[in-house]
């Protein structure tokens, strides 16, 4: 199962303008671009199994070099900020989401400039300065690719490509060009398993700046997560406190990890809490994952 999710520039007709506090949708193993999938009243695909990660922290890695059109470190800082915006969310009850990211080592090999290609190494962030191999280059700011098990939904590969060939994605706070951090924040939403939301102020709205007032107050405001997005990350990656005695202290020392912020948490608990029935699936299907 391969699913590519695009941020499009053109106006998308948003059929639902109702201000719902939880309109977010998850990416599932049913790909509406390729097959018939049932959707609910929020246009969320309800067929298939939600895409899900099986380990924390989630990794992202920059491609070494590249980036002729942007100052590299400023661009990377904008992308990092996009990742950490999601993992900094404080959920109801005052505890931070269990979502964590870690920046891995740079990767050497570029992703081939071909539609449908995959990079040799996973979790790459690619600034596409040398061409955009996907369709609708003029209408597409970025593309997030997730591979996941067709039955399990378990993510096995992910990358984000930023279309710096066809678009000037800026890193400053002044208005004008399209804001890289805003685009990257949307793509990270896909990276963690979210699909587009019909809530027009969500960072996961299908078209950037086409609905709601997200972009009306300048770039810095446009980078924010809406209530819909906060609901999404807290639903998919709840804080450990939600689980009371089942959370970190319940795991063996070998399963404990210390996150980039120094906070200790439990890998085994993360898996059982976040991916639910995967343990049962794994037992039935052997070592596929
Ligand atoms: Zn998108």
Rg over alpha carbons for the chain, rounded to the nearest Å, is 18
Whole-number Å distance, alpha carbon 228 to ligand 1 midpoint, is 15
Predicted pLDDT at 9: 40
Nearest to 146 by CA among 23, 26, 8, 288: 26
Collapsed DSSP state (helix, strand, coil) of residue 16: coil
Whole-number Å distance, alpha carbon 186 to ligand 1 midpoint, is 6
Q: What are the distances in angstroms from CA 166 to CA 110, 130, 133, 157, 163?
A: 18, 10, 11, 25, 6
Residues 6+ apart with CB under 8 A from 18: none
Whole-number Å distance, alpha carbon 33 to ligand 1 midpoint, is 13
The answer to whether 164 and 69 have CB atoms below 8 angstroms apart is yes
Residue 106, judged by CB atoms within 10 A of its CB (0-12, 13-18, 19+), counts as middle
User: Where do the CATH 3.40.390.10 domains begin and end in the chain?
Assistant: 2-236
Whole-number Å distance, alpha carbon 129 to ligand 1 midpoint, is 20
Cα(157)–Cα(144) distance, rounded to whole angstroms? 11
Fold of 2-236: Collagenase (Catalytic Domain) (3.40.390)
Cα(245)–Cα(248) distance, rounded to whole angstroms? 8
Cα(3)–Cα(195) distance, rounded to whole angstroms? 11
Q: What are the distances in angstroms from CA 181 to CA 32, 186, 224?
A: 27, 9, 10
Whole-number Å distance, alpha carbon 97 to ligand 1 midpoint, is 22
Residues 6+ apart with CB under 8 A from 35: none
Cα(171)–Cα(17) distance, rounded to whole angstroms? 30
For the chain, the residue count is 289
Q: Which residue is associated with the tokens 């924010």?
A: 224
Cα(46)–Cα(29) distance, rounded to whole angstroms? 10
The secondary structure element, H or E, covering residue 161 is strand 155-162
For the entire predicted model, the pTM comes to 0.78
pLDDT tens for each residue of the chain, 289 residues long: 555 655 444 333 233 333 445 889 999 999 888 889 999 999 999 999 999 898 889 999 999 987 655 578 899 999 999 999 999 999 998 999 999 999 999 999 999 999 889 999 999 999 998 999 999 999 999 999 999 888 889 999 999 999 999 998 888 877 667 899 999 999 999 999 999 999 999 999 998 888 788 888 888 888 999 999 999 999 999 987 654 444 433 334 444 455 444 444 444 333 322 232 232 223 222 222 1
Instruction: Tell me the two tokens of residue 81.
Output: 């900020």
Predicted pLDDT at 221: 86
Whole-number Å distance, alpha carbon 144 to ligand 1 midpoint, is 8
């Amino acid at each position: 199962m391969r699913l590519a999710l695009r941020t499009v520039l053109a106006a998308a007709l948003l059929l639902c303008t109702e201000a719902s506090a939880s309109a977010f949708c998850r990416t599932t193993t049913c790909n509406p671009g390729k097959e018939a999938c049932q959707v609910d009243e929020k246009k969320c695909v309800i067929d298939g199994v939600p895409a899900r990660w099986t380990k924390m922290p989630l990794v992202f890695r920059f491609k070494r070099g590249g980036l002729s059109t942007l100052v590299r470190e400023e661009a990377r800082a904008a992308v990092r900020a996009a990742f950490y915006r999601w993992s900094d969310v404080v959920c109801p009850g005052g505890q931070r989401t269990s979502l964590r990211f870690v920046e891995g080592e740079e990767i050497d090999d570029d992703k081939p400039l071909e539609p449908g290609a995959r990079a040799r190494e996973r979790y790459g962030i690619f600034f596409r300065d040398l061409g955009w191999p996907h369709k609708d280059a003029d209408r597409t700011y970025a593309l997030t690719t997730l591979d996941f098990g067709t039955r399990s939904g378990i993510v096995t590969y992910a990358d984000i490509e930023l279309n710096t060939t066809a678009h000037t994605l800026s890193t400053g706070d002044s208005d004008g060009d399209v804001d890289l951090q805003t685009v990257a924040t949307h793509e990270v939403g896909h990276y963690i398993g979210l699909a587009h939301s019909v809530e027009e102020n969500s960072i996961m709205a299908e078209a950037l700046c086409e609905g709601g007032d997200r972009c009306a107050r300048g770039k810095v405001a446009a980078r924010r997560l809406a209530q819909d997005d906060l609901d999404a990350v807290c639903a998919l990656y709840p804080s450990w406190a939600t689980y009371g005695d089942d959370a970190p202290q319940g795991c063996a020392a070998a399963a404990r990890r210390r996150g980039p912020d120094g906070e200790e948490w439990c890998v085994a608990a993360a898996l059982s809490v976040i991916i639910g029935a995967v343990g049962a699936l794994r037992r039935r299907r052997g070592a596929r994952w």
